[in-house]
Structure 1
Amino acid sequence: MPEFDESHQRLTFKLVYYGPAQSGKTTNLMRLHDLLAPDCKGEIMTLETQGDRTLFFDLLPLGFRAPSGALVRLRLFTVPGQVAHDGTRKAVLSRSDGVVFVADSQQVEEQNNAEAFRNLAANVARVGLNFEGMPLVVQFNKRDLPNIVAEEEVRSRWDGTAWPLLFATALTGEGVRETFEQLLRGVFRRYDVDLGLSLRHGLDEAGFVAGALGASH
């Protein structure tokens, strides 16, 4: 559940980019950071290690004012994809309010994608969250590379699920904003009633998405 600080009228959502190693989680956040208006983003923090782009997380604190005057903050994280860092993945995933699963479109990565998705479902349960009820978006990244799984084949596997499916080339920014927008829509629908986003804070879905994205270009 998002955190609401009554004394400071501040509502904070924690959103996590999850997926196998080198699938483009960090690149998604870097491109998203480029797209957002300067007044609604903080500095992005990256910790790199040998063999994996990110050891702990990238942190991107965003914020906008609701009509009620409350500050809505979005904290974006990535998790390390390497198997050895499962404890860190669980720690980052804890108390998250929405997830983007970033898959690698290359044919040789299909098994890694499947294992990472199973790991996501298992870790969501381990940290006490409801996998079926969590806002989740699936992104197949690296569409610019050769030897990728055909879009029709990906759709045939995923279209029967409840999760939005998007295709992206995060390196160039293609699909990055659209993926984040789908996550925001899912987060709004999940927490609107519980947090009074509409009734208490005067936010509708379009306003929530627009506020989070700012004057992106």
Structure 2
Amino acid sequence: MTQPDAAHEKLVIKLVYYGPALSGKTTNLQRLHDEISSTQRGELIALDTRNDRTLFFDLLPLGVRAPSGLLVKLKVFTVPGQVQHDSTRKAILADCHGVVFVADSQLRQTANNAASFGNLADNLAKLGRDIERFPVVLQFNKRDLPEIVPEEELAQRWGPTPWGMPALATALKGIGVGSTFRELLLRVLPSLEAEHGLAGQHGLTSQALLRSLGLET
């Protein structure tokens, strides 16, 4: 995991949107970027790869200063979903603190979702992380389309897993985007507290960080 830069008292929290091609990762990031106050976000940048692209932007570009003096910044990325870009996905996952897995709710995309989730698990394992112990939020996107996986089936399939009931979203309309990201932060911050003492040692609570982003419930 990324360590705070002791010389400059800085911790960069890296968050990644993962999932199959065309599941809505890019749309999630674009809508999230739109929802966050312009003073709290940097420019949305696209890095083109062959037939796909990676997007990223800084949240809290100037950082939020903990009472201890630690400067906390966030970076949010998508990964390319095309199969041939596996090395890029693995590289982006390096030093990441948490993942939103964006699945396509359409029934015909079930196999693609499963393959991509398996790829996420494999790449995390190669980086020395167990997906069942890593902060992951599952999001089933495109809930406005016909022939989608019913909520009851999602609850039956995912409720007993370590990741719990998936978030439901229609990212194109901005529905479920902010709440998914907030849920990810709520899962990431306890692990940062355990590793870096973010609240205990540095005095920066989860509520304070969410408040700085305008994501309080």
TM-score normalised according to structure 1 size? 0.92
Deviation at residue 193 of structure 1 after TM alignment: 2.3
Q: 2: CA distance between counterparts of 1:116 and 1:79?
A: 11
Q: Residue in 1 aligned with 2:211?
A: 210
* Residues 198 and 49 (structure 1), Cα distance of their counterparts in 2 relative to 1, 3 Å cut: closer
CA distances 1:98-146 after superposition (whole Å, capped 9, x unpaired)? 0110000011100000010011101101122232221110000011111
What is the 5 A alignment of 1:89-104? Answer: 89-104=89-104
Q: Residue in 2 aligned with 1:158?
A: 158
Q: Residue in 1 aligned with 2:25?
A: 25
Q: 2: CA distance between counterparts of 1:133 and 1:95?
A: 15
Q: 1: CA distance between counterparts of 2:152 and 2:11?
A: 39
Q: 2: CA distance between counterparts of 1:152 and 1:58?
A: 33
* Residues 91 and 215 (structure 1), Cα distance of their counterparts in 2 relative to 1, 3 Å cut: closer
Q: Residue in 1 aligned with 2:7?
A: 7
Q: 2: CA distance between counterparts of 1:44 and 1:129?
A: 28
Q: Residue in 2 aligned with 1:175?
A: 176
Q: Residue in 2 aligned with 1:41?
A: 41
Deviation at residue 33 of structure 1 after TM alignment: 0.4
Q: 2: CA distance between counterparts of 1:161 and 1:209?
A: 26
Asked if 1 retains the 8 angstrom alpha-carbon contact of 2:15 and 2:76, the reply is: yes
Q: CA RMSD in A?
A: 1.6
Asked if 2 retains the 8 angstrom alpha-carbon contact of 1:14 and 1:96, the reply is: yes
Q: 2: CA distance between counterparts of 1:145 and 1:26?
A: 18
Q: Does 1:75 align with 2:75?
A: yes
- Corresponding letter in the other structure for 1:59: F
Asked if 2 retains the 8 angstrom alpha-carbon contact of 1:16 and 1:77, the reply is: yes
- Corresponding letter in the other structure for 1:58: L
Q: Residue in 2 aligned with 1:193?
A: 194
Percent identical among aligned pairs is: 51
SS at match of 1:194: helix
Which structure carries more strand by proportion? 2
Asked if 2 retains the 8 angstrom alpha-carbon contact of 1:14 and 1:76, the reply is: yes
Q: 2: CA distance between counterparts of 1:189 and 1:93?
A: 19
SS at match of 1:137: strand
Range that drifts further, 198-207 or 24-33: 198-207
Asked if 1 retains the 8 angstrom alpha-carbon contact of 2:132 and 2:162, the reply is: no
Deviation at residue 68 of structure 1 after TM alignment: 2.7
In structure 2, stretches of 5+ residues that fail to align are: none
**How many aligned positions are there?**
212
CA distances 1:25-64 after superposition (whole Å, capped 9, x unpaired)? 0111110000111221110112345643x2xx21111122
Q: Residue in 2 aligned with 1:59?
A: 56
- Corresponding letter in the other structure for 2:177: V
Q: 1: CA distance between counterparts of 2:68 and 2:32?
A: 27
